[in-house]
Structure 1
């Protein structure tokens, strides 16, 4: 099986050569410049239509041909729809034949959403080599752990040797340092062979600041009336927005069809502004559902405003399967650490009560936008949301990397409590996500790093100092140093240490419990019928209810002293123990040891 996504721009091998197409309504003249190494480029004039589409056919071009577009006889720029830019976004693009890669004829159609156990990783720091090829060699470990879906942080080509990937400028070209398009396809294929889905993090709210040439020939890509925290906002609703919308929708379809990804996670959709009659997110979902019919393809949002209008309990056209639940992370973090600075401020008032609400409702502040500086607006009334439409996590790239020194939560709590955050994320009806290295309790930080140069480098360094200027700026890691990049690589050898093996065994056992007792029951889960009670200062009893009368219960002690619990707050005696942490089998009923959690499943008995 060979796969190629058809799109109206970029380079296409056809008719004994290559046809190049560029949307550049702001250019007076455009030429294709075939790279000839140290010699001047070979120039081929393109012709434009009334809508600003430039087209040129070069008969002797083929797969591997390096080229740029020359704008108005001067500036050489990469193809914005380049499938490969082997020398970075300032270098030439490379013609790629997508049909050179042959996919297995296995009938792989993905896995249903209820089976999803996500594992977020950064390709550059996941292995010492930092490549797709090396990452593929580690997939067996993930399958053995119980992970079912790998989520790659953005791989779109960006400037510099290293970075998080959220400043990509060539959305169709995998970052050159990670490997070739075919090597990324091999990674996806190897995952499928192991029963793993692969999700990709994509950024449709802005372009990076280095290597983006679109304003030279297609200024219509950027809104004249709206902004974003990272610069010019994308034009999804103004004049010429049809071509802009198509560019990003085709990008989603390209990754899902040509690379066979099983899902996309859309970054920061609260920064996608669209006042048109059909929101671009709705149109993207509709197009994806239609193009991938017959496959399990999942669409996930990040939305800091806690909006839920785009969510649905199933793969509906126009809607999304899931959304990252920052509230769960934030309130769990506050309950465990006591930190209440910056955006944790909203969660400092009775965090145990808010944690209870997160267990039963998913989001703590449904539909509540975040104001500048991080604080939430007044909580708005919202209907209960299906818990499986939310993704719970104890760590992710933002919540670790946006700290001054990138500490993981396990480094901020007592050793006896270090496994609890991960276990609590794994064993709720919400979809769980691990952050790479978390499964063995990696101690290495995940820092913010970006290989910027010149004025941009100085601006980022000074910005970090201002952000963490309240006692944290001394010895702050340099975000533009390769040392910060290298320090963010978890040492996989630690998984074989005594502590690493213990943690990994616990995570594997928890995921076995999830697979047996939670995943098969997701379709029976009720909405808005769950409850929780406070037990003393640091305890919670939580009940998740199912339509067949069964109830999943959690007995949680998030404190350093044992709790004695009254019978009315205990589950039925005959309930099956799903999983227990720091709670031995001989523990007396009604005693919850320090830093313990116990899950049971049984028929609810009304007293």
Structure 2
């Protein structure tokens, strides 16, 4: 197959190995990988089962006449009826029938090719909490005006029940009907592109959820029992059919829904890292070469090698953890790894991305964590102060606006550091309005035993981490009240916190005008500890200019070293420095300011 595709090829339906595929004669081809089954039948609506042909290598295939919207399922060995694991849309929930898709959506932004990665300002969204695909679409103009350039959707693949974070998905090709139909998702993407916004989708390739996954019944080879993950038996990426299933899924979202990129959840739980490199190459081979497509990973192992092999960026947990400790004083759990010399750790994160690059971790009982990051661009690291994990995995789901209620100035200083850094910023929904509504962990499992197991497991997590006092306060994930408590951004709250929005908007304007034009090619110069909770960092930008950030999260004034650069110009004056045109000799408590020095003529 050619390594590149032309425009004519892109206009034709792609022949995916899995899922229903329309044929030129108006019929539809159905395929199922069921190596554990003796026979498989296709069941269309209420019709009699149609025997599927054994195609070898565990595949069964049938061709049938059916219109878009027709429902179907597979019958395994004459007994068990299951949805298509590559279903494009479900009738009802994950246990219901699958539906033949309608591919007639007419795109309005056919000329969209995306944006360079360095222009990215991410905004993480839980689609359900904002009212589904339509609700998110309504928010897009406000986000574009704010200065956001990319929305990142938490997983939307079909999960059991109407409420879930999305990481319990079991049908990775099907948008959950609780959020809307496929065309509504396409319209959301179309509208985003019309406003200059990229759409990044969070995808889960390391596990399936506990309810609605039938693969064990007819394709046990999908899993390996010799490796266990927090979610059960590991997915077996040694199997070529498994590798193809997920690689095609990545291509499906990027091609059929025109997503601008994917965020891959917890890739440290994928045992065969060669598949990640293979997948990255595969999707780029089958997309138009003029598109900007960004692949982002979450990797708790701090394995920087993937950033050199096809992936644009990685979530930077280290910079979050050290700043969270500096802002809140918390040192439990993994924050223990950042409690000593946090200023030096922050300086290293700003200069090198990761703090842990092979050093032993106290939280991991001395196990070494991470790989060197030398030579990797600052923009390869995603810098966040909050996200769904770091907020939602707290017992009470508190946001930093609650945790820092007595230290708001320091929080604002940290936000300025984040948004003006050459690393790529990610804002968690509601931050820009100073939202105080919690973000809790929620589910809606119909099986009482499973709901109880999740309830107990959630509470035991805090006991195991030594937070026995918090375990008794964990809200029931399956209770609808937990979902309701997480509703973010009520209109009244937005009106009360416009000052936060103006703050974010001004910072993002400065980023757009002063930093983005020269971010490509930026590299770290130096970082210094100025005092307790205070640092200075500088970068040589792509045009030769020098960006400097000065951040003091302490309650004391810090003296600055003598200016090392001529023509240093303040581009962001902290809360007590408005009107200044030259760099001061000190940085006041809980303040951040930024300067830029033009490059040599």
Tell whether the structures are fold-level matches, with TM greater than 0.5: yes
- How many pairs align? 580
1:579 corresponds to which residue? 572
Q: Distance between the aligned counterparts of 2:63 and 2:521, measured in 1?
A: 57
2:264 corresponds to which residue? 266
Q: Distance between the aligned counterparts of 1:419 and 1:333, measured in 2?
A: 13
1:437 corresponds to which residue? 430
Task: Rate the CA distance shift 1:168–1:118 in 2: closer, same or farther, 3 A.
Answer: same
The reply to whether residue 119 of structure 1 matches residue 123 of structure 2 is yes
Task: Rate the CA distance shift 1:368–1:9 in 2: closer, same or farther, 3 A.
Answer: farther
1:315 corresponds to which residue? none
2:420 corresponds to which residue? 427
2:168 corresponds to which residue? 167
Q: Is the 8 A contact 1:576 1:600 kept in 2?
A: yes
1:366 corresponds to which residue? 357
**CA offset at residue 151 of structure 1?**
0.5
Higher deviation after alignment, 575-584 or 70-79: 575-584
Residue-by-residue CA offset, 1:90-125 (whole Å, 9 max, x unaligned): 000011122x11112541100001101111100011
**CA offset at residue 544 of structure 1?**
1.6
Structure 2: runs of 5+ lacking an equivalent: 1-9
Structure 1 stretches (4+) deviating beyond 6 angstroms? 369-372
Aligned 1:547-586 pairs, distance under 5 A: 549-563=544-558, 565-568=559-562, 570=563, 572=565, 574-585=567-578
2:26 corresponds to which residue? 16
Report the 3-state secondary structure (helix = DSSP H, G, I; strand = E; otherwise coil) of the residue aligned with 1:119: strand
Q: Distance between the aligned counterparts of 1:562 and 1:589, measured in 2?
A: 12
Report the 3-state secondary structure (helix = DSSP H, G, I; strand = E; otherwise coil) of the residue aligned with 1:464: helix
Q: Is the 8 A contact 1:387 1:429 kept in 2?
A: yes
Q: Distance between the aligned counterparts of 1:381 and 1:264, measured in 2?
A: 24
Q: Is the 8 A contact 2:37 2:218 kept in 1?
A: yes
Q: Distance between the aligned counterparts of 2:437 and 2:192, measured in 1?
A: 26
Q: Is the 8 A contact 1:304 1:370 kept in 2?
A: no
Aligned 1:87-106 pairs, distance under 5 A: 87-98=92-103, 100-106=104-110
**CA offset at residue 371 of structure 1?**
8.5
The reply to whether residue 386 of structure 1 matches residue 374 of structure 2 is no
CA-based RMSD of the aligned residues comes to 2.1
Higher deviation after alignment, 68-77 or 1-10: 1-10
Aligned 1:89-488 pairs, distance under 5 A: 89-98=94-103, 100-125=104-129, 127=130, 130-237=131-238, 241-274=239-272, 279-292=274-287, 293-312=289-308, 318-367=309-358, 377=368, 383-413=374-404, 414-452=407-445, 453-469=447-463, 470-488=468-486
Q: Distance between the aligned counterparts of 1:369 and 1:184, measured in 2?
A: 44
Q: Is the 8 A contact 1:131 1:179 kept in 2?
A: yes
Q: Is the 8 A contact 2:336 2:362 kept in 1?
A: no
TM-score if structure 1 supplies the norm length?
0.91
1:86 corresponds to which residue? 91
**CA offset at residue 78 of structure 1?**
0.2
2:76 corresponds to which residue? 71
Report the 3-state secondary structure (helix = DSSP H, G, I; strand = E; otherwise coil) of the residue aligned with 1:600: strand
Higher deviation after alignment, 360-369 or 399-408: 360-369
Higher deviation after alignment, 358-367 or 388-397: 358-367
Report the 3-state secondary structure (helix = DSSP H, G, I; strand = E; otherwise coil) of the residue aligned with 2:460: helix
Q: Distance between the aligned counterparts of 1:486 and 1:2, measured in 2?
A: 43
Q: Is the 8 A contact 1:133 1:179 kept in 2?
A: yes
Q: Distance between the aligned counterparts of 1:78 and 1:196, measured in 2?
A: 34
Q: Is the 8 A contact 1:148 1:196 kept in 2?
A: yes
Q: Distance between the aligned counterparts of 2:263 and 2:201, measured in 1?
A: 6
Task: Rate the CA distance shift 1:107–1:205 in 2: closer, same or farther, 3 A.
Answer: same
Task: Rate the CA distance shift 1:575–1:243 in 2: closer, same or farther, 3 A.
Answer: same
Q: Is the 8 A contact 1:437 1:492 kept in 2?
A: no
Task: Rate the CA distance shift 1:299–1:537 in 2: closer, same or farther, 3 A.
Answer: same
